Structure 1
Amino acid sequence: MKLKVFIFLSFLCSNITCQKNLEWLDKNENESVWNELLGSWEFNNNTISPNLSKNGANLQYVLIRSGMEADTKWSEISVDFQINADIAQYSVGFVLNTKDSCDFGIISINRLSNLSSLKLGLWKYGKYRPWLNINLKKGIQTKKKYRLSIYPTTKKEEWRPWTITLTEDGSNEILLEQAIQNDIPMFGRGIVGLYSKESQVTFQNFNITQSSTIKQNLRLAPLFSDGMVIQRNKVVPVWGLAAPEKNVQLEFNNQSFNTKSGISGHWRINLSPMEASLSLKMKVVSGRDSIFINNVAIGEVWLASGQSNMNMKVWQSDMSTRSKELAPDIGLRMFLQPQWASNEPVFDSGGKWENAESGNVDVWSAVAYSFALQLREKLKVPIGIIGSYWGGTAAESWLPREELGTDPITKPILDQFYSAQEALELGQQIRNIRPWNVPDQRHAPGYLFNGMIYPHIPYAINGVIWYQGESNAKRAKQYETLFPMLIRSWRKEWDLPEMNFLFVQLPGYDGKQSGSNIESAWPQLRDAQRLTLQKVDNTGMAVTIDLGEVTNIHPYKKRELGERLARLALHDIYGMEDIVRSGPLYESVTFNDKSAIVSFSDCAMSLQIRESNILQGFEIAGSNQQFFPALAEINSNGKSVRVWSDKINKPVAVRYAWKNFPDKANLINSSGLPASPFRTDEWPLPTDKNR
């Protein structure tokens, strides 16, 4: 099979009038569960077909499932279809995440010039935007039945969360089996239905597995569900929706509260601070509607977010061995947030709590699991991690979009987005240097904040652990502004100006991906992270320069990485001062004659050299900005290093571990933790103007 991802956008034009206010069909039992969105459809016993005689000028047929809403959750859909005539061109399948007749996703089996394929794309602004095209291993036969299915991926080794299959009836031959990401938000949420651009097709046996269809006005935000962990010793907001201006009662842990929903139906109750506990129940009632939440714990809650290295699962890392050594633990839990990008903030994009006895630890975030284990062991209270991450994503996707317009360094990201959106609305073709900034897909600014962070605000948490930066390395200088902006924006959204934010400094890597082919891009990104640590209060940085792999952007060692994040939390937040929090961090530099004296914090008992008598990794430069490898020695105070080179008579700048993969750098503290890379200069670098 040939897989093509279409980054630039192309279109097929059609004139469509959007239909948003629709009347439900009620002719018979079969029709009553469907709604005609585009074209006319014919119902005959157990089959459904487009009705050409009544279709008029429509070039597409769309039939959507009644009773579904924009935030309806589903896990599987399938349908049988049959092409009834030998036609040269057709397109049949599903519509997904349908907003109206001018905005829906399409996944379809297609024939064009004797070539059969599966296509995925978006219909919006009267145009079709292709995203994915996969050729089938053989063509579709006329008057033969096939089944098209979408369901959660079950193969542990496959990192893409959804799978599409096309199966031939009778032989059960699989013509296509393709795992896929939810890049354009389609899978698992929203209104679904049938799609065709040809009348000579028959659909049969449509099946959908969705969450409860019981209709009630009372709803809770997604984190408030069975197995949840509530933050101890802090005020805990509980919020949701109810019928407008109705009373809402909440009972929990011997507390009882009453409030009234607003005109829009929104309501919020603040629970008083509580001590750690297990096996509690919560009850929420409004009118005739009630919700019961079981197996509630009170303990420590952290949000884990970022890109692929935070997403990397236990089974893919050295945490796999560790997990097999541990007994089940109902006091250690993780909320698994589905991947969902959105142009607008959403109330609920799904997810569920799991605990460490559920057998699902293998697919948890390895970094977050390692971090949580340390907190569980040291604090002896329930630990809850909210896992919201997505591989290959840039920081601008994870913060409120309009924040980007508040600084001239980040405003170009926003400008590119709105320029692309305007072009799409005008029916123009997009040609963007960085097509990530076009709307309606996961890389667009603000989309992951809206879909994967906003639903959890203002849930009471003690802090955030963050592992991201690879996708911003080409714009490392911009990250000096962008990353602090993200931290401050989350604190503002949570109304927690001092919210703890711990993050991972990128490890060593030189595999020529994600900007590592640009001179100094990865070292500069690490330095942007270090500067964020200096500029933004209540942050902590886990130095991991020694945990990387030269050609593997997803290093295997996640246990030590998570433990280094936990060191920061246990020391800085939980007051365990006997724990060494970090490796050495650059503090200051002075220049004396032919040498430089570099001072460090976080030296533990003393600075040391790892596995050698020769200190390596330092470079020194004069006013001509040319760096040379330097000699270095630890001073007798154990907190500073003297750096010099015979080639530099009057040094003005020092760098340490300033390489993509600085495997020779060996400065550590007495606890064996590595020193952070740094530079003392502010000289221009290749990424400085990249926006």
Structure 2
Amino acid sequence: MKIKFILSVVTALCFSFCVSAKVVMPQLFQSGMVVQRGKPVIIWGKADKGEKVTVTFRKKVYETSADGDGNWRVRLPKQKAGGPYVIRVNDLEIKDVLVGDVWLCSGQSNMDLQVERVYPQYTTDIDSYSNNDIRLFHVHNETAIHGPKRDVRPTSWKPVTKENAWNFSAIGYFLAREMYEKTKVPQGIIADSWGGTPIQSWISADTMKNNFPMEYRRSLLYQNDEMIRSQMRANQLANQRWFEVMNETDPGMSEDFTALGYDDSKWIKKNQYDNLTGERSYMGSFWVRQHIKVDAAHAGKPARLLVGTLYDQDYTYVNGQKVGETGYQYPPRRYNVPAGLLREGDNALTVRFITKGGNPHFIKDKPYKLIFEDGVEIPLSEQWSVREGARMPRCHNSEINVHYLPITLYNAMIYPLAPYPVSGVVWYQGESNTGDGQIYESMLTKLIENWRQLWNDSDMPFVVVQLANFMEPSDKPQDSGWSWVREAQRLTAKHVPNTELAVAIDLGEAVDIHPLRKREVAQRAALGFEKMLFDPKVKLSPEVISSEVKEGNVVLTLDQQLKPGTLYEFELAGADGRYHNAEAVADGSTITIKSSLKSPKSVRYAWKNNPIRANAYGKNELPLSPFQLVIGE
């Protein structure tokens, strides 16, 4: 009897354990999630082999069992927009679930750019906006070189508030707001991007192997964890030693160039936009100082110090105290000066530049000033006292950035999200592929096919954001790598079904690869989705539908009416392929280009890094895309 009792207890305990065994679900399935309306709802996860899984949603029950590997999946019927609801999976309860539209936003740094960075462009608007019907899901950076991961790094869904949006993709944030205004249904944004990454990183191994074999083999070279660890450790040590030697030999560290009382009267005086070092290239540390006068009313008060944008790394000090540092060139320097630091009268501002190549410099057309809480501003002088710190030799290392390698981000950041249904994808990438313009169309086309196959959605809408204008404008024709990528993006949108182009050729900045006007980019992306999903009559950017030579001039016919007037940034080429600037005029839905060539063969528009004078717009205020075409084809 005693043995039977013990066996009964053990059996009961085993049964209890089996019944209460918890399922494990991907990060996407958490309280606050948004489920895509109008498509079957796919729910999946892990459990013990053979375990029964029960999903309860909106009073209906769906059952399945985990397979031999512990995987399970349930397909729920299409849902209408609404909520909040509760999803129960065995003993797991997912609360506050909304049904609406879900958007995937991916690419590199311009997609990654956070609300914090664009805040000065839209201050009041961001300050005043919150919306519980918009939920944000940020996929954290991760790599996988050997094969796809099952899930992304721990993260969560968050409702839109200023605080929650602060470090979220600005384009994703504004896209959600635009789509909410258009549809009035809940919106979910999945931000899945990584600055500086090439398109190859976001494509699957099979796609790369079958279409870009050399790129695929490049990834194979790094499928050795020991080699990567050893190289990364060696690079870390080399970089660490480089900084140690620089700091040990920099007189500014021992003499404290940052102190208010330091005598900088013998330093060289230079304008901040001159060549500060007098060299073509400089490596090491370099110091600049200036003095700021503060009145009695603002002495001791906290302030915001804007030191524009600097190349490359900086450490910035006020009266000997460090107020901020930035490790690379792109972020704006917005540093807080704490209360009690500023004195009445003279104050010393010191910046220590660190560069590993190129020259330390200030970026033009950026804000350089001290701002107090009462709104009073003190502009910084363009004149600085400058002095060399420690000039250094090159830091010899062989960087291995795994996230730049083919396949790695697809494996770690895209594959785990499927088949979570989405309404559409925004792709903003290409800056890191401006040397690959001739094959970028093929790669982008394959990426779209790849992702649609992964999601088992052959019509999944894509909006491709075309690269914005950037760099120094030129009056002369340029054979620009940026232009070739823009053309590849245009042609992909033209040739791949259910794909639209968001033209951003007028939203860039000459001095900043990360322009701030991200709301306008999101608005144009939203128009693309509106056309594909809700109203095919929506007009996007004008497109050329035919071209011909008429009475010696080139005449382009477009798909819509243009704003009339003289147009710039058009070029014509003859049989020799050499392009020449040409005058053009818009009238109705045609553009007439005056030709100085006897037999013009091809035409292009805005084919430069920064075609600053490009001014062809539809009457809907959207810009004509840069393009190149053979006349008559």
What TM-score do the two structures reach when normalised by structure 2?
A: 0.66
Alignment match, 1:575: 535
Return the match for 1:273 from 68, 78, 89: 78
Alignment match, 1:342: 144
Return the match for 2:186 from 379, 382, 407: 382
Return the match for 2:582 from 618, 622, 630: 630
Alignment match, 2:513: 553
CA distance in 1, matches of 2:84, 2:125: 24
Offset, 1:358: 7.2
Q: Cα gap change, 1:322/1:481 in structure 2, threshold over 3 Å: closer, same or farther?
A: farther
- Indicate if the aligned counterparts of 1:314 and 1:320 stay in contact, CA closer than 8 A: no
Q: Does 1:680 align with 2:482?
A: no
Offset, 1:327: 4.0
Offset, 1:575: 2.1
- Indicate if the aligned counterparts of 1:340 and 1:448 stay in contact, CA closer than 8 A: yes
CA distance in 2, matches of 1:675, 1:614: 14
Task: Supply the AA of the counterpart residue of 2:582.
Answer: A
Describe the superposition over 1:357-402 as per-residue Cα deviations: whole angstroms up to 9, x where unpaired.
4731122211111111111111011000111111111111111122
Return the match for 1:356 from 140, 144, 160: 160
Q: Cα gap change, 1:420/1:573 in structure 2, threshold over 3 Å: closer, same or farther?
A: same
Task: Supply the AA of the counterpart residue of 1:416.
Answer: R
Q: Does 1:501 align with 2:462?
A: yes
Task: Supply the AA of the counterpart residue of 1:632.
Answer: A
Q: Cα gap change, 1:438/1:236 in structure 2, threshold over 3 Å: closer, same or farther?
A: farther
Offset, 1:320: 4.2
Offset, 1:423: 12
CA distance in 1, matches of 2:606, 2:422: 35
Alignment match, 2:609: 660
Describe the superposition over 1:18-50 as per-residue Cα deviations: whole angstroms up to 9, x where unpaired.
xxxxxxxxxxxxxxxxxxxxxxxxxxxxxxxxx
Offset, 1:489: 0.2
Give the match's secondary structure for 2:62: strand
Instruction: Write the mapping of 1:147-226 to structure 2, written as runs, cut at 5 A.
Output: 217-226=22-31
Alignment match, 2:204: 400
Alignment match, 1:80: none
Offset, 1:518: 9.0
Q: Does 1:477 align with 2:433?
A: no
CA distance in 1, matches of 2:610, 2:50: 60
Moved more, 323-332 or 306-315: 323-332
Task: Supply the AA of the counterpart residue of 2:149.
Answer: V
Q: Does 1:531 align with 2:486?
A: no
Q: Cα gap change, 1:519/1:330 in structure 2, threshold over 3 Å: closer, same or farther?
A: same
Task: Supply the AA of the counterpart residue of 1:476.
Answer: G
Task: Supply the AA of the counterpart residue of 2:85.
Answer: L
Task: Supply the AA of the counterpart residue of 2:594.
Answer: W
Q: Does 1:295 align with 2:96?
A: yes
- Indicate if the aligned counterparts of 1:416 and 1:438 stay in contact, CA closer than 8 A: no
CA distance in 1, matches of 2:176, 2:513: 23
Alignment match, 1:468: 429
Offset, 1:576: 7.1
Give the match's secondary structure for 1:608: coil
Give the match's secondary structure for 1:310: helix
Q: Cα gap change, 1:440/1:250 in structure 2, threshold over 3 Å: closer, same or farther?
A: farther
Structure 2: gaps of 5 or more residues: 1-19, 233-396
Offset, 1:429: 8.6
Q: Cα gap change, 1:679/1:398 in structure 2, threshold over 3 Å: closer, same or farther?
A: same
Give the match's secondary structure for 2:568: coil
Alignment match, 1:314: 115
Task: Supply the AA of the counterpart residue of 1:607.
Answer: L
Return the match for 1:590 from 525, 534, 548: 548
- Indicate if the aligned counterparts of 1:282 and 1:296 stay in contact, CA closer than 8 A: yes
Task: Supply the AA of the counterpart residue of 1:454.
Answer: Y
Alignment match, 2:391: none
Q: Does 1:641 align with 2:606?
A: no
Return the match for 1:456 from 411, 417, 440: 417
Alignment match, 2:87: 282
- Indicate if the aligned counterparts of 2:461 and 2:532 stay in contact, CA closer than 8 A: no
Task: Supply the AA of the counterpart residue of 1:304.
Answer: C
Describe the superposition over 1:167-196 as per-residue Cα deviations: whole angstroms up to 9, x where unpaired.
xxxxxxxxxxxxxxxxxxxxxxxxxxxxxx
CA distance in 2, matches of 1:416, 1:265: 34
Alignment match, 1:188: none
Give the match's secondary structure for 2:567: coil
Describe the superposition over 1:644-683 as per-residue Cα deviations: whole angstroms up to 9, x where unpaired.
222x01100000001100011110000111100000149x
Give the match's secondary structure for 2:404: coil
Q: Cα gap change, 1:281/1:437 in structure 2, threshold over 3 Å: closer, same or farther?
A: farther
Offset, 1:453: 1.0
Offset, 1:308: 0.6
Q: Cα gap change, 1:228/1:437 in structure 2, threshold over 3 Å: closer, same or farther?
A: farther
Q: Cα gap change, 1:426/1:300 in structure 2, threshold over 3 Å: closer, same or farther?
A: closer
Offset, 1:217: 4.8
Task: Supply the AA of the counterpart residue of 2:576.
Answer: N
Q: Cα gap change, 1:250/1:664 in structure 2, threshold over 3 Å: closer, same or farther?
A: same
Give the match's secondary structure for 1:262: coil
Alignment match, 1:433: none
Alignment match, 1:331: 133
Moved more, 436-445 or 320-329: 436-445
- Indicate if the aligned counterparts of 2:80 and 2:99 stay in contact, CA closer than 8 A: yes
Q: CA RMSD in A?
A: 2.7
Offset, 1:245: 1.2
What TM-score do the two structures reach when normalised by structure 1?
A: 0.61
- Indicate if the aligned counterparts of 1:632 and 1:644 stay in contact, CA closer than 8 A: yes
Give the match's secondary structure for 2:492: helix
Q: Cα gap change, 1:553/1:300 in structure 2, threshold over 3 Å: closer, same or farther?
A: same
Give the match's secondary structure for 1:672: coil
Return the match for 2:572 from 605, 611, 620: 620
Offset, 1:420: 4.7
Offset, 1:355: 0.5
Q: Cα gap change, 1:423/1:225 in structure 2, threshold over 3 Å: closer, same or farther?
A: closer
Alignment match, 1:607: 562
Task: Supply the AA of the counterpart residue of 2:616.
Answer: L
Task: Supply the AA of the counterpart residue of 2:499.
Answer: T
Percent identity over paired residues: 33
Instruction: Write the mapping of 1:40-79 to structure 2, written as runs, cut at 5 A.
Output: none
Kindly indicate whether structure 1 or structure 2 has the higher relative contact order, using CA contacts under 8 Å at least 6 residues apart. Answer: 2
Q: Cα gap change, 1:256/1:584 in structure 2, threshold over 3 Å: closer, same or farther?
A: same
Offset, 1:342: 1.1
CA distance in 2, matches of 1:419, 1:681: 41
Describe the superposition over 1:94-139 as per-residue Cα deviations: whole angstroms up to 9, x where unpaired.
xxxxxxxxxxxxxxxxxxxxxxxxxxxxxxxxxxxxxxxxxxxxxx
Offset, 1:440: 7.5
Return the match for 1:305 from 106, 115, 122: 106
Q: Cα gap change, 1:415/1:363 in structure 2, threshold over 3 Å: closer, same or farther?
A: same
Task: Supply the AA of the counterpart residue of 1:522.
Answer: W
Tell me which protein shows more helix as a share of its residues: 2
Task: Supply the AA of the counterpart residue of 2:414.
Answer: I
Q: Cα gap change, 1:616/1:668 in structure 2, threshold over 3 Å: closer, same or farther?
A: same
- Indicate if the aligned counterparts of 1:413 and 1:437 stay in contact, CA closer than 8 A: no
Alignment match, 2:525: 565
CA distance in 2, matches of 1:229, 1:238: 12
Instruction: Write the mapping of 1:391-470 to structure 2, written as runs, cut at 5 A.
Output: 391-407=195-211, 410-421=212-223, 441-470=402-431
- How many pairs does the alignment contain? 443
CA distance in 2, matches of 1:531, 1:258: 46
Offset, 1:569: 1.2
CA distance in 2, matches of 1:380, 1:338: 29
CA distance in 1, matches of 2:129, 2:223: 51
